[in-house]
Chain A
Amino acid sequence: MEKRQLRIALAGNPNSGKTTIFNNLTGTRQKVGNWPGVTVEKKEGDIHQFGYDMKIIDLPGTYSLTPFSIEEIVARDFILDENPDVVIDIIDASNLERNLYLANQLRELDCKVIFALNMADVAKSRGFRIDAAKLSELLGVPVVFTVGNKNEGLDDLLKAAIALAESPLEIPEERKVRYSNDIESAILELRNFIKPRVDLSFPYNLRWTAVKLLEDDKIIKDRIREKIGAESRNILIKAEELRGKLSGRFDDDPEIVMTDERYGFIAGIIKEVLSISTRQRVDISRNIDLVLTNRFLGFPIFIFFIWAMFQVTFSLGAYPMEWIDAGVGYASVFFEYVLPDSLLKDLIVDGIIAGVGSIIIFLPNILLLFFCIALFEDTGYMARAAFLMDRIMHLIGLHGKSFIPMLMGFGCNVPAIIATRSLESRKDRILTILITPFMSCSAKLPVYIALAGTFFAAHAGTVIFIIYLFGILVAIITGRLFRTALLRGEDAPFVMELPPYRVPMMKNLLIHMWDRSKMFLKKMGGIILAGSIVIWVLSSFPQNIQYSKDYDAQIAQVNQAYEKKISSGESIDEAWRRLKKEALIKEIASAKEAERAEKSYIGRIGKVIEPFFQPIGIDWRGSVALLTGFVAKEIVISTMGVLYAAEGDSEGDSESDALRNALLKSGMTPLSALSMMIFVLLYVPCLATIGAITRETGSMKWTLFHIAFTTGVAWGMSFIVFQGGRLLGF
């Protein structure tokens, strides 16, 4: 017999333990992607049990199915359009009343629903007794008790789901939410009005459609226009007329009255099924909050946690970073020896390994950062962080939760931008994504160190600190500007649950961390690889450059000259001469490299864009360095190293000393160095970030806008600093 395919959707409130149940059901066999067109994470997993192939789909956690947030629209559309065989509603048993709101909206949708009363142990320990049989009878829905984190009741849940899927759909009308008489008669009237105007192909339950129209549900209105064409006008007019009548009758919007009545209906159910024993328990979560959100201790503790997160991410991450760095080094040495000299070898060693290697090195940081974030989220501390920071973030018109991504921006913008997923409102998300890159990421630091160290030697630390502050300032100003101009209005309501603190499960933390890091890795495979290859091609072609001098002949000359001296000279001088010879050859080789870079495509591009950078005090070499910095900021320094033909005076010079000397000779002034640092601070962070922005905003338009905007701001600010500085006589 062929196995039956079942599709089972998990719905439920945030913090109801839905993710834990999903992880326990599907284990590691889960696929994480995005819901089409939006950036809400979609998780699926296949399981084979009891003779069935079951696909479990984790719907976004929502409090209701009012289509206000993306999550709600996604969840509802899935149930409406994809018709899953069964919807399992995960209900936090210790918070039955609020959870039943979503549960009842699911029932109204006319799909097959099962209630999983989760965290049954917590509810019991709080003295809650739930009469499941009664609940099941009153609502006409199978009810199963589960304890997600202990894996209890999940088999029963699946069996119940299978049984329900195999039985015909019937939810008796009389068991659905009953509204007051005025509303019921309006529903009936509208329903009877719709009935003759649609045919059998109309996909939605008529009572539900009538309810939604009375609630002025924009999406359902659009769907009706789409599905029934001409007659829809009359239906919508009729609905509007009934809404007007109800508004007059209740002196309030019908949707508000109906929400109230649903809670009234739920209150009635609660009275019958829930008994609370009077014994009072100490509320541990509340006691923790007495400390963690304390008026005096709250902020110091918060700052400590953030500090600890950075310590873990960057200090602990430094060790595996070294290993990866060494690994990449070995890989390039290996290919250097194994492959015959050819263009392909250059491509692999200088293009692909160097390019991807410079980014994969951040993987440990990213893994650790995401682990910390998952820890904050799963314990419930994230909500407290938002609670503490909201007042400050609100100054820029952002939600308290935006603080975390922006903070992460100081580390790396890629995870920071992915972390904006925790924001509910799309506008908040876009605004946060737009300004987060102004938080100076760790990859920019080497550029500051090189430039500030060279030109502001004694005050380098102060200058770098000011650069960081300047980034924050620009973020605040542009954030406010966007709020008032581009992403106006609609401050997302802050209304947010502060869930009880929980001990996180390692399995969940690891899955969480890995899911997000995987996205980072995937990006590397694509965008960064392509970007590295493009930069490599531009900088190593054309191959047959006409050099102004015959460098090879010069080198040969040096070789020859010294060969004689060394062979004839005394042994004490020999070593010294050898060093001198090597230094001379190195100098000639870097002069050759500099000319080659100048005449390569990227050098030519540099010359072409030089006029653009001239007003901000940057020459063609700086322009090329900035251009390559488009791929990753780490490259800026290495490009500068090549172009300024870092000529070391003697062997004792380290690479950075060599760059310093070259920069000092290049005609760069402290003012133009400052201008360049500001440009680096503000312009497009890197290719990986651009990739992340495209993914997270789901639109090329915002990505292009972001590139143009940040580059514009960078240029403008550098211009002000450079020209202003010149006027002041620096």
Chain B
Amino acid sequence: MRLSEMREGQQGRILRIGGETRLRRRILEMGLTKGSEIYVEKYAPLKDPLELVVRGCHVSLRVKEAAEIDVEAL
């Protein structure tokens, strides 16, 4: 399942990160690596972007970017 399909309050683990290299590296450098656990804190009032908690920090991503990340729900 894609990260963008997760709902608020759901927890998951990252399986794979797609997209072009530049974006992928940015995502990785913010600590969203393969195998890391994420928690969907909330979606912005206009449903985009969304806020995640990963490794204890809060990171926001656009829905389009989140769609490049495959996750499994925990």
Tell me the count of chain B residues lying within 8 A, CB to CB, of chain A.
Answer: 33
Residues of chain B lying within 8 A (CB to CB) of residue A66:
25, 29
Contact of B65 among A68, A400, A494 (CB under 8 A): A494
> Judging by beta carbons under 8 Å apart, are A390 and B21 in contact?
no
Query: Which of A255, A383, A391, A500 has most B Cβ within 10 Å?
Result: A391
Residues of chain A lying within 8 A (CB to CB) of residue B34:
260
> Judging by beta carbons under 8 Å apart, are A260 and B25 in contact?
no
Tell me the count of chain A residues lying within 8 A, CB to CB, of chain B.
Answer: 39
B9 within 8 A of A: no
Closest partner residue, chain B, to A263 (CB atom):
B33
A493 within 8 A of B: yes
**Closest Cβ of chain B: how far from A276's Cβ, in Å?**
9
**Closest Cβ of chain B: how far from A197's Cβ, in Å?**
28
> Judging by beta carbons under 8 Å apart, are A97 and B27 in contact?
no
Given the contacts A101-B31, A263-B33, A293-B51, A498 and B26 also touching, CB distance less than 8 Å = no
Contact of A263 among B31, B44, B45 (CB under 8 A): B31
Contact of A388 among B24, B27, B44, B61 (CB under 8 A): B44
Task: Give residues 28-47 of B contacting A (CB, 8 Å).
Answer: 28-31, 33-34, 36, 41-42, 44-47
Residues of chain A lying within 8 A (CB to CB) of residue B31:
97-98, 101, 263
> Judging by beta carbons under 8 Å apart, are B30 and A253 in contact?
no
B48 within 8 A of A: yes
A504 within 8 A of B: no
Residues of chain A lying within 8 A (CB to CB) of residue B45:
293-296, 298-299, 388
Contact of B51 among A64, A68, A259, A498 (CB under 8 A): A498
**Closest Cβ of chain A: how far from B14's Cβ, in Å?**
11
Complex Cα–Cα for A671 and B30 (A): 55
Complex Cα–Cα for A390 and B34 (A): 26
B62 within 8 A of A: yes
> Judging by beta carbons under 8 Å apart, are B25 and A256 in contact?
yes
A572 within 8 A of B: no
A189 within 8 A of B: no
Residues of chain B lying within 8 A (CB to CB) of residue A98:
30-31, 55, 57
Closest partner residue, chain B, to A391 (CB atom):
B46
Residues of chain A lying within 8 A (CB to CB) of residue B65:
493-495
Contact of A68 among B26, B27, B61 (CB under 8 A): B26
> Judging by beta carbons under 8 Å apart, are B58 and A498 in contact?
yes
Complex Cα–Cα for A495 and B3 (A): 14
Residues of chain A lying within 8 A (CB to CB) of residue B48:
390-391, 394
Number of A-B residue pairs having CB atoms within 8 Å of each other in the complex: 110
Residues of chain A lying within 8 A (CB to CB) of residue B27:
493, 495
> Judging by beta carbons under 8 Å apart, are A256 and B21 in contact?
yes
Residues of chain A lying within 8 A (CB to CB) of residue B17:
256
> Judging by beta carbons under 8 Å apart, are A390 and B30 in contact?
no
B15 within 8 A of A: no
A284 within 8 A of B: no
Query: Which of A98, A289, A493 has most B Cβ within 10 Å?
Result: A493
> Judging by beta carbons under 8 Å apart, are A390 and B26 in contact?
no
Closest partner residue, chain B, to A101 (CB atom):
B29
Closest partner residue, chain B, to A490 (CB atom):
B22
Contact of B30 among A68, A298, A497 (CB under 8 A): A497
Query: Which of A95, A498, A499 has most B Cβ within 10 Å?
Result: A498
Query: Which of B28, B29, B58, B65 has most A Cβ within 10 Å?
Result: B29
Residues of chain A lying within 8 A (CB to CB) of residue B47:
391
Residues of chain B lying within 8 A (CB to CB) of residue A498:
51, 58-60
Complex Cα–Cα for A392 and B45 (A): 11
Residues of chain B lying within 8 A (CB to CB) of residue A253:
21, 24
**Closest Cβ of chain B: how far from A683's Cβ, in Å?**
34
Residues of chain A lying within 8 A (CB to CB) of residue B60:
383, 387, 494-498
A709 within 8 A of B: no
Query: Which of B25, B36, B51 has most A Cβ within 10 Å?
Result: B25
Task: Give residues 90-146 of A contacting B (CB, 8 Å).
Answer: 94-95, 97-98, 101
Contact of B44 among A255, A260, A296, A387 (CB under 8 A): A387
Q: Mark contacts of A473-501 with chain B using CB atoms, 8 A cut-off: 1 yes-contact digit, 0 otherwise.
A: 00000000000000000000111111110
Q: Mark contacts of B1-29 with chain A using CB atoms, 8 A cut-off: 1 yes-contact digit, 0 otherwise.
A: 00000000000000001000111111111
Given the contacts A68-B26, A495-B30, A95 and B21 also touching, CB distance less than 8 Å = no
**Closest Cβ of chain A: how far from B23's Cβ, in Å?**
5
Residues of chain B lying within 8 A (CB to CB) of residue A101:
29, 31
Q: Mark contacts of A239-264 with chain B using CB atoms, 8 A cut-off: 1 yes-contact digit, 0 otherwise.
A: 00000000000000101100110010
13 example contacts (A-B, Cβ-Cβ < 8 A) are as follows A68-B22, A68-B26, A97-B31, A255-B21, A256-B24, A263-B33, A293-B42, A293-B45, A388-B45, A391-B49, A392-B46, A493-B62, A495-B26
Residues of B in contact with A (beta carbons under 8 Å apart): 17, 21-31, 33-34, 36, 41-42, 44-49, 51, 55-62, 65
Apart from A296-B45, A299-B45, what 12 extra A-B contacts exist at CB < 8 Å? A68-B22, A255-B25, A256-B17, A259-B25, A259-B33, A263-B31, A383-B60, A390-B44, A394-B62, A495-B27, A495-B59, A497-B30
